[in-house]
Chain A
C-alpha cells in the first residue's frame, strides 16, 4: 500500500474520533445533567440520593469537617485581646501572626491539590488534615510564647488548606452530576452552621462555663477531633465517577459496547502539578472566573472585617452583640442556600452559563444592599439589609464553584478549587485590605462600606461576561473525554493511529491569534514538509508540537496519548525534538559542550553520550576539527550542522526542523539534507519546515501548506506542485521552473 495512503487511513481514524465526538457530545452533556430544558426547580437532593442508592454520609462528614474548621478561626478572632494580655504579646505582633496564618491559609490548598493528584486519596487527606488542625487547635491552649502561637496558627492554616482544595472536588465525585449545585449548596449550609455555632459555643465556654481562652481552645480542639473522627469512614470514590466515567460510558453505548467490552480507563494523571495548573488556567471560563473571584475577594474578605468596625462604631455593638449579629446573618444564609439549591440546580441544567449570569445579578444586588445598609439610619432596617446581602453573597459560592469545577477534568478540580481559593482570599483579600483601609482613613468606615460598590459592580460585569464562555468550555471538557475514550477504543481494537495528530489547533500570542483550526498528522518514519510564506504560522505550529507554546484550543496527540499540555522537557523524553530556526546552538559554549547539552536527557549515561558525540563527529568531520571552538565562531553552515547533531545524539522518534537552509550556500544545504535523509532512514519521522519549495519537495512525499495560520493543503508533495493558487509567484520560482 502507498505510504501516503496509510497515513490518510490513520488520519481517517482520527477523523472518525472527531465525528463520534460530534455525535456523542449532546448525549454526554445530558449525562452530566445539562439538559437545556427549563424547569422551575430540581427535585430535592434526598430524592436524587435515594434514586441512586447513595448515602448522606459524605455530605454530613465533609460538612462536619467544614463546621469544626470554622471554630478555631472564630475563637482566635474573638479571643485575641485575652491572648494578647495573657501572653504579654502586643497587638502588632498578634497582627503579624495572623498575617502569617492568612498567608499559610492562602497557599496551603495548592500543596493539598498536589498531594491528591497522583491517586484519589482526598478522603484520607481530608481526615488526616482535620485530625492535624484539631491537634493544633488543642495545642493553642498550651502556648506560652509568641513562637508557639506562630507555629500552631501557621500549621493550622496549612492543614486547613484541604477544605478549599479537596472538599468541593470530593463532593462532586460523591454525588451525581445533576445534583452538583444542590450538593455544593448543602455543603455551604453546613459551613454556615459552623458560623452560627462557633460564636455560640465560644460564648457558652467563655461565659457560662467560665473558661479562659486556653480552656476554650482545648475544648474546641476536642470538639474538632470528634468531628474529624466522625469523618473517618469517608472514602474517595475516584476522580470523575459521575462525569468522566459517565461520558466514557456514553461513548461505549454509542458503539454498542457493553460495560465489560473495554476496560474502564485509569485516571489520566500524567500531567504534573504545574502542568495541570497551567492547563487549568488556559480554560477561558476558568481565567475569567478567577479574575471575577479576585475582584469578589476585594469585596468579600475585608468586608467581613470592616463590618465588625462598622457595627462597633456606628451602632455601638460590643463583642457579644456582634457575635449574635454574625450568627443571625449566617442563619439567614442557611435559609437562602436551602431556597437557592434546587432553583440553582435547575438553572445549571438549563444553561450553566445562565447560572453565572444569575450570579452576576445577585452580586450586583448584594453590593447595593450593603451600601443601603451602610447608610441606613434605622438599626432594624440595617440588620435586615445586611442579612439579605449576606444571604445573597452566600449563594454565590456554590453557583460559581459548580460552574468553575464543571468545565475542568475531574482530576484537575482540586487544583482549580485551590486556585479559586487563592484568587478569592489571597489576591482579592490582600488588594481589598489595602483598598478599603485607604478609603477608611479618608471617608470612615461607612464610606468603606459604600465603596464596596466598585469591586461589586466590576465583579458582576466579569461574571456576566463569563456566561458566554461556559457552554464552549463545558463541551471542550466533554470532547476531551470522548476523544480519549475513542482513542482507547481504536487502539484496543488494533487500529493504527498516526504517530502525531494535531487536531483543531488554535494558538494566540496574547490577543493575536496566529493558528486557526490546524490539523496536522505525521506517521511513523515519515518525512513531511511544512511549507508556507513567512508569517504563515509554520514555526508556531512546531512550537505547539514541541510544547514550547500551548494552544488555546485543540489537541496534540502522540501515539494516541494526549500531550497538549505536557512540558516541552517531557515531550523531549517522549521522543519529540525540535531544532529551532536560525542558529540552533549555544554561542558561548564549545562544540563539545553544545553536544553534551543536547544529550542532557540521556542522563548520567556518559558512555552512551560519548558514542552519540562520536556519531556526530563521524557525520560532520568539520565539527570534530572544531570541537573546542566556541559555537559562535563557527560559520552558518557549521552551526546548522551542530544544531542537526541534536537529531543524531537524541535519535528522537519525531524530529522537527525549522528553516534548515536559511541563508546557507547550496553545497552546505545539500550536505545537511543528506544528513536529514540519513536520520529519517534510521527510523526518525521528520517534519521539515521550509520556505524553499524546491528543497522541501525534493525530499518528501507528504506536504502541508500553510497560509495565514491555516492549513491550506495536505497531500502528496507532487500534487502541491499543481496548486498554482497556493504557490504564488514570490514563492515558486524554482518550483514552477521544475514543473515546466
Chain B
C-alpha cells in the first residue's frame, strides 16, 4: 500500500540522502578514454593456452616511479582511485595485520589479478567458469591504468573476450 501523505516525503528525502554519497560530480568520465587499445587476442577469438595479451598505450607514462597496468582475468577491477588490494577488502585474510599480505603480487596473482609495467601479459591459465559447461564460455581480460601509488587512474577499462580451445 502507498505510504500516507506525511510518510511519503520523509521516505523520499531519506532515500535521496542515502543515495547522495553514492553519487558524485568530480573525476567522472563521460567521454571514452582511448589511451589503451588491446591488439591481441581479437575480441571473441578462440585461443590456446597460454595466450599472450598485448596492448598499445599513449599519453600514459609507465615505469618505476611512474604508472603501471592492472590486468584482471575474469575479474572486475577496483574502482577509480583504489589500489588492487581494495578488491579483497572483504577477505578475512586481508583484515588487520593481513593487509600487507594482500598487497603482495603473489597473493593477487593467485586471484587472477596482476600488475605489470609491460605492454603485454601472458595468460597461463584461466579460472573455470560457472554456468552451463556445455555451452560456449568466454573468458575476459581487462586492463586498467594504475598511478605511481598503485591506485586506479580514471574510469577507463579495456577488455577483450576469448574462448579457450579445450573449452576450459
Contact = CB atoms under 8 A, between A and B. Distances in A.
Given A85-B157, A88-B76, A151 B1 contact: no
A211 B157 contact: no
Contacts of A365: none
Interface string B63-106: 00000000000001111101000110000000000000000000
B12 to A, nearest CB: 9
A114 B22 contact: no
A87 B81 CA distance: 11
A137 to B, nearest CB: 13
A66 B162 CA distance: 37
Nearest to A145: B22
A88 B80 CA distance: 8
Interface string A303-316: 00000010011001
Contact of A88 (B19, B22, B25, B82): B82
Given A145-B22, A146-B22, A85 B77 contact: yes
B155 interface: yes
Nearest to A87: B79
Contact of B76 (A90, A141, A210, A316): A90
Given A211-B30, A212-B155, A309 B1 contact: no
A147 interface: yes
Given A88-B78, A142-B23, A147-B21, A318 B43 contact: yes
Interface string A97-132: 000000000000001001100000000000000000
Interface string B43-69: 110000000000000000000000000
Q: Which of A82, A87, A115: most chain B Cβ within 10 A?
A: A87
Interface centre among A82, A91, A212 (most CB of B within 10 A): A212
Contact of B19 (A147, A440, A444, A445): A147
Contact of A147 (B1, B22, B142): B22
B159 interface: yes
A273 interface: yes
Interface string B24-41: 110011111110000000
B19 A152 contact: yes
B15 A155 contact: yes
A143 B22 contact: yes
A85 B142 contact: yes
Interface residues of B, number: 37
A141 B136 contact: no
A87 B80 CA distance: 7
Interface in A155-192: 155
Q: By DSSP majority rule, is chain A's interface helix, strand, loop, or mixed?
A: helix
B29 A214 contact: yes
Interface in B111-168: 132, 134-136, 142, 144, 152, 155, 157, 159
Given A85-B142, A215-B30, A441 B132 contact: yes
B30 A144 contact: no
B135 A86 contact: no
A445 B135 contact: yes
Contacts of A155: 15
A100 to B, nearest CB: 13
B10 interface: no
B58 to A, nearest CB: 16
Given A111-B2, A114-B2, A214 B28 contact: yes
B18 interface: yes
A445 B136 CA distance: 10
Contacts of A215: 30-31
A316 B15 CA distance: 42
Given A151-B22, A212-B31, A85 B2 contact: no
A148 interface: yes
A218 B23 CA distance: 13
- Counting chain B CB atoms within 10 Å of each CB, the highest count among A86, A147, A212 belongs to A86
A724 B3 CA distance: 60
Nearest to B136: A313
B31 A145 contact: no
Contact of B135 (A143, A144, A309): A309
17 contacts: A85-B144, A88-B76, A89-B76, A89-B79, A114-B1, A114-B2, A141-B28, A144-B28, A147-B19, A148-B22, A211-B30, A211-B32, A212-B29, A212-B30, A212-B32, A214-B155, A218-B30
Interface of A: 81-82, 84-91, 111, 114-115, 139, 141-149, 151-152, 155, 206, 210-212, 214-215, 218, 273, 309, 312-313, 316, 318, 440-441, 444-445
List the 3 closest A-B pairs by CB distance, nearest first: A148-B22, A88-B79, A151-B19
Given A84-B76, A144-B23, 5 more contacts: A111-B1, A143-B23, A211-B32, A212-B29, A212-B33
Interface of B: 1-2, 15, 18-19, 21-25, 28-34, 43-44, 76-80, 82, 86-87, 132, 134-136, 142, 144, 152, 155, 157, 159
